[in-house]
Amino acid sequence: TPSNLRVGGEPVPGLRVNENGGIWVPQRPRPRRNRKNQGLRDMCAENIVTPANFIYPLFIHTKDYVEEISSMPDCYRHSVESAMREVQEAYNLGVRSVIIFPKIPDELKTNTADECFNPNGLVPDVIKRIKSKFPEISVWTDVALDPYSDQGHDGIVGSDSRGDGGKARILNDETIEQLCRQAVCQARAGADVVAPSDMMDGRIGAIRDALDAHGFTDVSIVSYTAKYASAYYGPFRDALDSAPRESSKAPRNKKTYQMNPANSKEALIEAHLDLAEGADMLMVKPGLPYLDIVKLLSDNTDLPISVYHVSGEYAMMKAAAARGWLNEKETVLETMLCFKRAGANAILTYYAKQAAQWMNE
């Protein structure tokens, strides 16, 4: 029934009275008509997120029990057996991709991070187990030296003092040699996707050539194209003990290789290089504070885009929800939709399993 409601007071210029005696704004297009009920809202939705869009990150360690991560509620360092259960649960909810992040014992860490390409190491073992039991799951791996480094850097630390602030440099080309060995080791174990997160110049082309030369032409490369030197990574570094060490001769930050948060055009430079070097997908990290970069890369490249909803973003949501300041479910699902709307095809998030549960309700 048309509204006949009349609000008292003086007439408002520009408004009219309809034939039923009600107030009428003479407006033909009314976008609200496509939002008036759930059926229409669903029909007209421009973006939809499903569990298949998620990449579920798993922290693993060599211990035979599960450890809580205090700065990341509901996230754990998993034993190998526990990680397998997590993969099963995620798969049952529709998540089809997982990424492995290892916490390596200190006694195995060195500046050159040789443990990263040990064929009998933790990561190859977990890859083989997952692919054996869940062949449909796409296993992603992190390609970087910091979990294996006694310096806490993504690359090999040099012995000179020619770097930032008179500190030692992070050696670019020497690091890439190790990254190639790491990627090939992961591919041999059965990795479907290798994801270089180190931000060394030229590493995508070198890794592509190394994989192809060893017959792994079907292994995908997802490049951390625009990985910013962000303050949002703190809880992750707690989880893996991968922060730059005080004892290192290199700077206590990663600003000489990760991108400056002030820059956006620089992300296009990185994207075009990665495209030319053979990347299959581009990643932006962090996520919510960098939605403009997600949109920028989506609009200016033809490759799929992934986004990393990082540990600091996750921890803030968990903290606000625990205090009753946010509705966790609604906030998380809205956030995932925002990533998709900005142009992300894949979303790496610690909420992957929980969000998938909510989507399945």
The residues that are catalytic are 227, 285
Question: If we measure between CA atoms, which residue out of 277, 300, 293 comes closest to residue 204?
Answer: 277
CA separation for the pair 182, 328 (Å, rounded): 38
Closest CA to 87 of 45, 136, 38, 49: 136
Helix axes 265-277, 203-213, angle to 10 degrees: 20
Cβ contact 69:76 at 8 Å: yes
> Could you tell me which residues come within 8 angstroms of residue 156 by beta carbon, excluding any fewer than 6 positions away?
111, 112, 113, 145, 149, 170, 171, 174, 175, 178
Written as one letter, the residue type at 296 is L
Backbone dihedral angles phi then psi of residue 171, each to the nearest 5 degrees: -80, 120
Give the three-state DSSP class for 128. helix
Query: Would you state the structure tokens that stand for residue 167, as one six-digit string?
Result: 């500190």
CB 222 within 8 A of CB 140: yes
Classify residue 135 by burial, with Cβ atoms within 10 Å: 0-12, 13-18, 19+.
exposed
Residue that is written with structure tokens 């606000």 in the block: 320
- Dihedrals φ, ψ of 46, to 5°? -85, -25
Q: Output the CA–CA distances (angstroms, integers) from residue 243 to 21, 147, 235, 237, 240, in the order listed.
A: 70, 9, 10, 5, 8
Dist. CA 296–CA 60, nearest whole Å = 34
Helix 328-342 / helix 311-322 crossing angle, nearest 10 deg:
150
d(CA 54, CA 307): 10
The number of angstroms, rounded, from the C-alpha of 204 to the middle of its chain's C-alpha atoms is 18
